[in-house]
Each structure stands twice: as structure tokens, then as C-alpha cells.
Amino acid sequence: MSLDLTIVWALLLAFFVAMYVVMDGFDLGIGILFPRLPVGKERDMAMNSIAPVWDGNETWLILGGNALIAAFPVAYAIILPALYAPVIAMLLGLIFRGVAFEFRWRDPGHRRWWDAGFFLGSLTATFAQGITLGALLQGITVEGRAYGGGWWDWLSPFSLLVGASLAVGYSLLGACWLIWKTEGDLNARARRYARILLPALLVAIGLVSLATPFLEAKYHERWFVWPGLLLAVPMPLIVALVAYGGWRSLAGKRDFAPFFWVLGLFGLSLVGLAVSIWPDVIPGRLSIWDAASPRSSQLFMLVGSAVLVPLILAYTAWSYWVFRGKVGEESYH
């Protein structure tokens, strides 16, 4: 039997999305926390801690979009019209967030405006991404090879809940990044925020996890019928253990630790998500095999990805290495 490239591409796509969530997650989280940081050197330090890397982080979103159209074109063609308003809102949010990095230094007189744009752009983009996930989970209307619903279908209490949860999650990642990359007042402040955000994220994960199985019979079956129970029972326990590890690390001396514990929580959430929707690319509507590109397209891209993704990871790691260590306060005379 030859290798099923469709499965390979589903896993790669999941990897790209996970990379985006993790890497742009902390950038966007810092954006969401931004108004709470005192004007002055703390804001500047927070900004500088992500300035050299945000562009690369955001590129995973472009890769995710392009991998989707290339590997599962019909899914791309259905999902984006279904989520028209949130997607446009996300793009606009990312515009404000992205230009703020440059513009706030260019125009000190209007820096407050760009800081506000940085915050609102980050929040909008995050919320829209969460809504996108929520709307996908609750199911979208498909007619033939196109979206068949209305343009407000994405709006529901559940999608709003996921949007809010993602905002909490990204904020926590952002706070942990600041704990890692800064020292002094900003570090202490980030720890305070993380102590609030970590329990909030646990609540959010709990609510979303409880609501999801009741959206679709299929999810219910996945989790509450044998052998799904095998995962459903220990999962909350594992989440609780990782959260406890994260909580302890917030009081610890190793500044990088909280970030990685929270990454663990994100990883578990993604695993849970995958269990719910596998093997669909549009949950409950379209399987990865229904939506797959022809083998020749898959193979052509796979050759490139096999060579280039490791290379990308290598030079991205190098770029992070160049800017390693704490963001210096001393340099701000």
C-alpha cells in the first residue's frame, strides 16, 4: 500500500496551524495585554521582545492558508465564505497590529493611537480566530461544493465562547513570554497577570470541552463511547496536572518554564480538538479524502515541504537565538 498523502497533508496542515497558534499566539497576547502595561519603558520592552520575530510568526498563518487551498481546495472554498466577516475582521486586525510595530516609533506624538491600534488589532484578530474555530466546530452549511448558509451563521454563543477563550489563552502565552524575556517590574507584572489568566484559561478549556460534545452527535460518540472514554477520562486529569505544573512554575526561578507549561496546555487542547474532528477537514461535513487535491499536487508540495520546513525551522531558531536573553532595560538610558 502506498503512503496516503492525504493523511500526511492533514498532519502537516495541523502542524502549520499549531505553529501559528503557538508563535503568533504570544505576539497577539502581548497586544491584548498592552493597555495594562504602563506607558513608557515597559510598553517599549514588551514591544521590543517580539519586534524581531513577529513577522516570521505571522508567516505560519499564510502557510496555513496556502496549504489549505493547495491540499484541500474545496475546504478552503467553503470555509472562507462561511466565515466571511470574521476572516475580514481578522485581516483588518492584523493590519493594525502589524503596522503598529513600525508606526509607533515613527510618530511619538501619536504613539497612543498606534498603541491602541496594536491592542485592538491584536484583540480583533484573536477573537476572530477563535470565532472561526467555534463556527467550524458547531458546523457550517454545505451545498454541493460551496457554502450554503447565511453570512451571520458563524455568530453563536459557542463561537463567542471560543473567541473569548482564545483571547485568554493568547494573553496567558503573552504574559509567559514576558516572564521569560524581561526582568524587573515588567516581569513581576507579567507574573501577576499569569496568575489570573492561568485559572481563567482552565475554566475556558473546561467550558469549551463540556460544550463541544453536545454540538454534534459525532463528537459525543468520540468522547463518551468506548474506546473514546479511554481518552475522555484521563484527559481532564492530564490538563489539571499540566496546569498545576504551570502554576508552580509561576512562583519558580526558571523564567522560561511557565511558557512551556502553557504550551503544554495548548498542545493538549489541540489534541482534544483533533480527536473530535478527525478525519474531517470541515467537521461533520467533509472528510480529508473528500476534499483532497490530486496526488500530483500533494506530492509536489510534499517534496518542497520535506526540504524547506526543516530549513525554515532551523533559520527561525537561529533568528530567535540571535535575539536571545532578556530585553535589556539598561539600554534605555
Partner 1 sequence: MTDAETALLLARIQFAFTISFHFIFPAFSIGLASYLAVLEALWLKTGKDLYLNLFRYWLKIFAIAFAMGVVSGIVMTYQFGTNWSVFSDRAGPIIGPLMAYEVLTAFFLEAGFLGVMLFGLERVGKKLHFVATCMVAVGTAISAFWILSVNSWMHTPVGWALNDKNQFVPAAPWIEIIFNPSFPFRLVHTVIAAYLTTALVVGGVGAWHLLKRRDTPEVRKMFSMAMWMAALVAPLQIVVGDLHGLNTLEHQPAKVMAMEGHYESHPNGAPLALFGIPDDDEEHLKYALEIPNLSSLILKHDANAPLAGLKTIPKDERPPAEIVFWSFRVMVGLGLLMLGLGLWSLLARLRKRLYDWTWLHRAALLMGPSGFVAVIAGWITTEVGRQPWVIYGLLRTADARAPIDAPAVAMSLLVFVIVYFVVFGIGVWYILRLMGEPPHAGETAPAHAPIRTAGITPSRSISRRGADPRPDRTEEAGE
The residue range among 39-47, 197-205, 211-219, 247-255 that interacts with partner 1, by the rule CB under 8 A, is 39-47
> What is the x/- site pattern for partner 1, positions 86-105, by CB under 8 A?
-xx--xx-xxx-xx-xxxxx
Q: Smallest distance, Å, CB 185 to partner 1?
A: 14
Question: Restricting to residues 252-311, which ones interact with partner 1 according to CB under 8 A?
Answer: 293-294, 296-297, 300-301, 304-305, 308-309
Q: Smallest distance, Å, CB 172 to partner 1?
A: 23
Contact status, residue 60 vs residue 195, Cβ threshold 8 Å: no
What are the cell numbers at 115?
498603541
Angle at 55 between CA 71 and CA 31, to 5 degrees: 110
d(CA 56, CA 237): 35
d(CA 132, CA 147): 14
Alpha helices in 54-156 (DSSP H): 54-71, 73-82, 84-106, 111-138
Question: Restricting to residues 59-88, which ones interact with partner 1 according to CB under 8 A?
Answer: 59, 61-63, 65-67, 69-71, 73-74, 76-81, 84-85, 87-88
Question: Restricting to residues 127-146, which ones interact with partner 1 according to CB under 8 A?
Answer: 145-146
Q: Smallest distance, Å, CB 65 to partner 1?
A: 5
> What is the x/- site pattern for partner 1, positions 180-209, by CB under 8 A?
------------------------------
Q: DSSP code of 325?
A: S
> Is the torsion defined by CA of 122, 65, 291, 278 positive or negative?
negative
Question: Restricting to residues 220-239, which ones interact with partner 1 according to CB under 8 A?
Answer: none
8 binds partner 1 (CB under 8 A): no
Binding residue for partner 1, selected from 1, 3, 251, 333, defined by CB under 8 A: 333
d(CA 262, CA 199): 11
